[in-house]
Amino acid sequence: MLASEVNRDNLSKMVRTFYKMILEDKTINPYFIMALGNDLQSQEWQEHYKILEDFWLMLMTGKKVYTRDAFEPHENMAELYRETFERWLELFNEVVHLYYTPKLAKKFYKRAEVLSCKFMQWLEIE
């Protein structure tokens, strides 16, 4: 059943499915493999899942559980392009619809879209 509220349990499932999809995508997987490797069970990935759960929990519920800088790691990775962000957003849109009601999925997507735009501005991507 699609979730109509966000909690740690459904976020944990959504985040894990998202990165499984990402690692299957040739446009986007090199960035993640370079940073975290290709073993989704590894310690590095487990830490990443937890960080992303906190991040989305904060964005979607307002709980102050994420206190890091989301932008920083993107500044120093291999060059990102508009197409990379577009593909990331496409996959994200797909995954949120697998777990959440259309209304909630739309809210997730809007937040991600706004942040993508900000990231692109900071990174000076045309």
Element (H, E) at 75: helix 72-75
Give least dist CB 67 to ligand HEM, A.
9
Q: Do residues 45 and 71 make contact, with C-beta atoms less than 8 angstroms apart?
A: no
Q: Do residues 54 and 66 make contact, with C-beta atoms less than 8 angstroms apart?
A: yes
Q: Do residues 60 and 103 make contact, with C-beta atoms less than 8 angstroms apart?
A: no
Give least dist CB 84 to ligand HEM, A.
4
In 3-state terms the chain splits into helix, strand, coil percentages (rounded to 5) of 70, 0, 30
Window 37 to 96, contacts with ligand HEM (CB under 6 A):
48, 51-52, 55, 68, 70, 73-74, 77, 80, 84-85, 88
Q: Taking CB under 6 A as the rule, does residue 116 contact ligand HEM?
A: yes
Give least dist CB 85 to ligand HEM, A.
4
Nearer to ligand HEM, 3 or 80 (CB): 80
> Which two structure tokens, joined as six digits, stand for 55?
């991040």
Q: How far is CA 40 from CA 13, 22, 36, 74, in A?
A: 13, 11, 9, 20
Q: Which residue number has the CB closest to ligand HEM? A: 68
Window 92 to 111, contacts with ligand HEM (CB under 6 A):
none
Give the interface with ligand HEM as residue ranges (CB under 6 A).
28, 31-32, 35-36, 48, 51-52, 55, 68, 70, 73-74, 77, 80, 84-85, 88, 112, 115-116, 119
